[in-house]
Amino acid sequence: MALQSGELERRNDKVPLSVHVTEQDDEAMLTLANYGEKGPIAFLSHQQEPAMKKFSENGAERVLASMTKQLLQLQAIAKEQPIIIFSMAGELARIKKNLVVNQARVNSQKWSQWGMVLGDNQFDWRMIKLKREEKMTKYHDKHQNLPKYFTDGSERAGKVKWGYLVRHDRKLITSQSGEITGTAQLAEVMAVEKALQKAIELGHKEIVLTSDSEYLVDGVQKELETWRVNGFHTARGKPMAHKEQWEKIDKLLQEVNAHFYHQVSHTKQTGEAADGNRESSRST
């Protein structure tokens, strides 16, 4: 079902553009979103060219054909921000490996176009993951007795709020929330910054921190080291989104050993992680 314009989110040009590429019956669908935020901002679709039918559905060749066809429009929407591409073709190294196998089946013009796309540092190629809703968040045995911090950020009725709560032995220790000017994604990041500051204040040297933001958890677990090396700037030399907050989080994590977990939001799951996430969401 197509969404009406009023149901689409607005483009946030301070964060990367997320593009999910999928195919069915030779029709390519690109779902565009603000990376780390909920809800699509646009849908693009087209029929694959007849020459592409000799390649596997959702394979590297057909994903690249889709990206090439929509390239100018995607770059216009993303502006200076990175474009993160999620597809079944996977990461850049995997795509290149698969292309070498089929190089003889691709004409020189297309090969040249695809090479330019693959060589553009604005693009970040990633594998589509299984939906996290399929996984129950369970804490590692070593983390069971640690203080649990739950953070959240939201935008409702024009108000952007951050919040966190702290539990230990399933008992509420403290909670805090605040309102800011900005986006829900900024609120998610600020909630973690405030929570880590509270951990230091409480003398908690090791904690568990749970968030329903994939942008936040992936940022800490997968991207933070690279961001630090790059001075918290993008590949094009521009300050990354929420640079100031991420720099503070990086420094705070040198004082607090925080184990980050992702918890799906708005779920019927039960358990300490899901219950804590629901309660932190109420504060925002």
Question: Which CATH number fits the domain that encloses residue 237?
Answer: 3.30.420.10
Q: For the range 111-114, what are the long-range contacts, defined as Cβ-Cβ under 8 Å and sequence gap of 24 or more?
A: 113/68, 114/64, 114/68
Which pLDDT does position 5 carry in this prediction?
42
| Domain count of the fold of the chain | 2
Which pLDDT does position 203 carry in this prediction?
97
- What is the H or E stretch that residue 176 is in? strand 171-180
Contacting residues for 160 by C-beta, under 8 A, at least 6 apart: 153, 154, 179, 180, 181, 182, 183, 184, 186, 187
Indicate the residue among 129, 157, 189 that finishes a domain.
129
Indicate the residue among 79, 96, 129 that finishes a domain.
129
Contact 180, 160 (CB under 8 A): yes
159 and 81 within one domain: no
pTM more than 0.75: no
158 and 101 within one domain: no
Which pLDDT does position 74 carry in this prediction?
94
Torsion of Cα atoms, 60 then 224 then 74 then 152, to 10°: 110
> CA-based Rg of the chain, rounded to a whole angstrom?
21
Q: Which residues of 248-262 are buried (b: 16+ CB within 10 A; e: fewer)?
A: bbeebbeebebbbbb
- Return the number of other C-beta atoms located less than 10 Å from residue 186's C-beta: 21
Which pLDDT does position 162 carry in this prediction?
95
118 and 142 within one domain: no
Quote the domain boundaries for residue 103: 5-129
The candidate with the shortest Cα–Cα distance to 9, out of 47, 35, 46, is: 35
101 and 49 within one domain: yes
Indicate the residue among 77, 99, 129 that finishes a domain.
129
Eight-state DSSP code of residue 45: E
173 and 73 within one domain: no
202 and 80 within one domain: no
Residue-wise pLDDT tens for the chain (284 aa)? 344 344 678 899 889 999 999 887 778 889 999 998 878 999 998 888 887 777 777 788 888 888 888 999 999 999 889 999 998 888 877 777 766 545 545 566 777 788 888 888 899 999 886 554 446 788 999 999 999 999 999 888 778 899 999 999 989 999 999 999 988 889 999 999 999 999 999 999 999 999 988 889 989 998 899 899 999 988 778 888 899 999 999 999 999 999 999 988 767 777 888 888 888 888 87
271 and 141 within one domain: yes
Which pLDDT does position 237 carry in this prediction?
83
Which backbone phi and psi does 223 adopt, to 5 degrees?
-110, -20
213 and 171 within one domain: yes
**For the segment 53-94, what is each residue's pLDDT rounded down to a tens digit?**
777 777 888 888 888 889 999 999 998 899 999 988 888 777
The candidate with the shortest Cα–Cα distance to 177, out of 63, 55, 29, 284, is: 284
181 and 117 within one domain: no
Which pLDDT does position 60 carry in this prediction?
82
Contacting residues for 202 by C-beta, under 8 A, at least 6 apart: 147, 166, 173, 174
DSSP β-ladder status, 83-87 and 27-34: unpaired
CATH number at residue 100: 3.10.20.370
User: What's the token pair of residue 70?
Assistant: 């929509």
276 and 154 within one domain: yes
276 and 157 within one domain: yes
